[in-house]
């Protein structure tokens, strides 16, 4: 696994921070940016991501209410996301920033002309959002997270942390269009590791509770919730159920073990949003998404919650601790 919290992504294509005030040298027109976030407005992680985006924009001279107007829409519900995407398109913004695969799918259905910048989208080529990373084409570009193959790493990590696991429940947001892309990779990893894979698409909190409870009725189980708006929204429930049923668990992002989950392996979301501002800046100044290569994360972070490990009766192997970026105690 590649690890290291800082510098997890290398900027390509000459992305250089513009000095504050550079906007005034190009036009006096107030620009408009639509932002579609696939979480509730009260969600702390969602607010942290928006703060990262705003910090990145401010560093480039874009101040909300002064030279740019930013319209936010928040929802983890697929139907509402589609409605909000249409609302943002109706505002005729200079660009729309999207924070997930589900949100990007909603915006893509709503417009093929307004320029889009995305962050936190897994395998945009495999997901059919862009033609290629080097030449995305169309009206979409920006930072991708990783390829679907990372799901094999999540299962490997689960098995390393909890060697007794012989069964793994893979739950995912049924409304997330990219979630099924992980399944072939994780299935192959399961066969290689001798872990039986149980796949369950979920629709709501009640189904999460029912599926996890039923799976935990048999021994030697582990849990891997795939990334998605519903998983993020219901993370407290999922984590509490995993601990209650003594299921070792691995997630994609740090905020899960920070909230009591066992472990995560993935990119730094906040920094991703902050860096995404550079493409927003370039696009609203006139560059075309088709000319800006999609960039993938190159550095990842491994995070383990030792308190949760103790609660689950797990002794984390030294081989895993040695490559861990952050231990939460």
Span 86-133, pLDDT tens digits? 999 999 999 899 877 777 778 888 887 777 776 766 555 555 555 555
Q: Is residue 5 part of a domain?
A: no
Q: Is residue 17 part of a domain?
A: no
Q: Are 73 and 163 members of one domain? A: no
Q: Are 113 and 217 members of one domain? A: no
- Residue 98 pLDDT: 86
Of 2-11, 73-82, 129-138, 313-322, the least confident? 2-11
Q: Are 77 and 142 members of one domain? A: yes
How many domains does the chain divide into?
2
Q: Are 156 and 226 members of one domain? A: yes
CA dihedral 45, 47, 52, 58 (to 10 degrees): 180
Question: Among 193, 190, 99, 89, which residue's Cα sits nearest to residue 142?
Answer: 99
Q: Are 195 and 312 members of one domain? A: yes
**Band of pLDDT at residue 20, cut at 50, 70 and 90:** very low
* Domain encompassing residue 160: 150-266+301-328
- Residue 301 pLDDT: 92
- Residue 205 pLDDT: 96
CA distance 243 to 247: 6
Q: Is residue 12 part of a domain?
A: no
Q: Are 183 and 197 members of one domain? A: yes
Q: Are 35 and 159 members of one domain? A: no
Burial class (CB in 10 A: 0-12, 13-18, 19+), 166: middle
For the question of whether the overall pTM of this predicted structure is more than 0.85, the answer is: no
Q: Are 86 and 130 members of one domain? A: yes
- Cα atoms found within 13 Å of the Cα of residue 231, Cβ hemisphere only: 25
Q: Are 274 and 305 members of one domain? A: no
What is the average pLDDT value for the chain, to the nearest integer?
Answer: 83
pLDDT in tens, 221-266: 999 999 888 999 999 999 999 999 999 999 999 999 999 999 999 9
The residue with greater pLDDT, 16 or 326, is 326
Is residue 96 a contact partner of residue 34, using CB atoms and an 8 Å limit? yes
The residue with greater pLDDT, 277 or 191, is 191
Q: Are 41 and 114 members of one domain? A: yes
Give the pLDDT mean for 22-49.
Answer: 79
Burial class (CB in 10 A: 0-12, 13-18, 19+), 29: exposed
Bridging pattern class, strands 326-328 and 263-266: unpaired
Q: Are 51 and 142 members of one domain? A: yes
- Please check the confidence at residue 15 and state whether its pLDDT lies above 70: no
- Give the chain's largest Cα–Cα span: 66
Q: Is residue 315 part of a domain?
A: yes
The residue with greater pLDDT, 295 or 194, is 194
**Band of pLDDT at residue 24, cut at 50, 70 and 90:** very low
Task: Identify the CATH number of the domain in which residue 310 sits.
Answer: 3.40.50.2300
- Please check the confidence at residue 292 and state whether its pLDDT lies above 90: no
Give the pLDDT mean for 131-149.
Answer: 55
Q: How far is CA 305 from the centre of its chain?
A: 20
- Residue 298 pLDDT: 66
Is residue 229 a contact partner of residue 173, using CB atoms and an 8 Å limit? yes
- Residue 244 pLDDT: 97
Q: Is residue 61 part of a domain?
A: yes
Q: Is residue 194 part of a domain?
A: yes
The residue with greater pLDDT, 23 or 286, is 286
- Please check the confidence at residue 191 and state whether its pLDDT lies above 50: yes
The residue with greater pLDDT, 128 or 175, is 175
Q: Are 131 and 254 members of one domain? A: no
């Amino acid at each position: 696994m590649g690890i290291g919290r800082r510098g997890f992504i290398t900027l390509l294509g000459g992305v250089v921070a513009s000095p504050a005030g550079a906007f005034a040298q190009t036009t006096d027109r107030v620009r408009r940016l639509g932002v579609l976030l696939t979480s509730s407005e009260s969600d702390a992680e969602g607010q942290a991501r928006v703060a990262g985006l705003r910090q990145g924009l401010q560093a480039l001279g874009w101040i909300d209410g002064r030279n740019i107007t930013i319209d936010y829409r928040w929802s983890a519900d697929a139907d509402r996301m589609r409605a909000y995407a249409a609302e943002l398109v109706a505002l005729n913004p200079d660009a729309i920033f999207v924070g997930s695969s589900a949100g990007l799918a909603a915006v893509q259905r709503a417009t093929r002309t307004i320029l889009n910048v995305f962050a936190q989208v897994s395998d945009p080529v495999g997901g059919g959002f862009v033609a290629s990373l080097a030449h995305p084409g169309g009206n979409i570009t920006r930072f991708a997270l990783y390829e679907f193959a990372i799901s094999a790493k999540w299962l490997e990590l689960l098995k390393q942390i909890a060697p007794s696991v012989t069964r793994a429940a893979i739950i995912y947001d049924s409304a997330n269009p990219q979630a099924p892309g992980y399944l072939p990779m994780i299935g192959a990893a399961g066969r290689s590791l001798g872990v039986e894979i149980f796949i369950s698409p979920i629709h709501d909190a009640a189904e999460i509770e029912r599926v996890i409870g039923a799976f935990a009725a048999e021994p030697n189980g582990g849990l891997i919730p795939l990334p998605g708006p519903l998983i993020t929204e219901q993370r407290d429930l999922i984590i509490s159920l995993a601990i209650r049923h003594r299921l070792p668990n691995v997630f994609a992002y740090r905020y899960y073990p920070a909230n009591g989950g066992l472990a995560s392996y993935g990119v730094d979301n906040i920094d991703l949003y902050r860096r995404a501002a550079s493409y927003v800046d370039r696009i609203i100044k006139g560059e075309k998404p088709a000319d800006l290569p999609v960039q993938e994360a190159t550095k990842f972070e491994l995070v383990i919650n030792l308190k949760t490990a103790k609660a689950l009766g797990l002794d984390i192997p030294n081989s895993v601790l040695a490559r861990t970026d952050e231990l939460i105690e």
